[in-house]
Amino acid sequence: MRVETTELRDVLVFRPEPFRDDRGLFTRTFDARIFDEQAGSTGTRASDFVQDSQSRSVRGVMRGMHGRSGRGEAKLVRCAHGAVHDVLVDIRPGSPTFGRHQAFRLDDVGFAHLFVPPGFLHGFQALTDVADVCYRIDREHDPTEDVAVRYDDPALSIAWPLPVSVISARDEAAGTWSELLASL
């Protein structure tokens, strides 16, 4: 498994190396030892993950931009089926990459896993007819800590590859980047 750094501080991409043959493929999707060696300095250990979740979306669906206040939450995100355009925004005051965003393609071909440390907004858009996204999360969900910024907030200037086909009422009503900054 290869591990790559990104433009955003502490964000890592884990790239499994699938074995392919006439039957299809086999790949390791998680390795606790490698995770701890690479991401342990962020304060998140493999043993901290307490919950796995999955979402299914259709082409054009937009989910996000979501985050958590307080201690935040660490996530390991992958697309198990299909493809998504995944975006992170650093919301950690004092971080050298505060306010910056970076996009990643997650799909069922390259099997990349995106490590999202606490202190980031996260969102994605489904690029394929069906996209299943799996999340490994280090904390139980506490809705009182939810924060969100609209996916199309001009202050973030995130370029989404497709027109948005469906968005939840909650995401439609999300606040602005300016409102989030005032609350940090």
What positions carry a catalytic annotation? Answer: 66, 135
Could you give the CA distance from residue 80 to residue 171 in angstroms, rounded to a whole number? 23
Three-state DSSP class for 32?
helix
Could you give the CA distance from residue 60 to residue 165 in angstroms, rounded to a whole number? 5
Could you give the CA distance from residue 66 to residue 41 in angstroms, rounded to a whole number? 24
∠ at Cα 50 (8, 12), nearest 5°?
A: 20
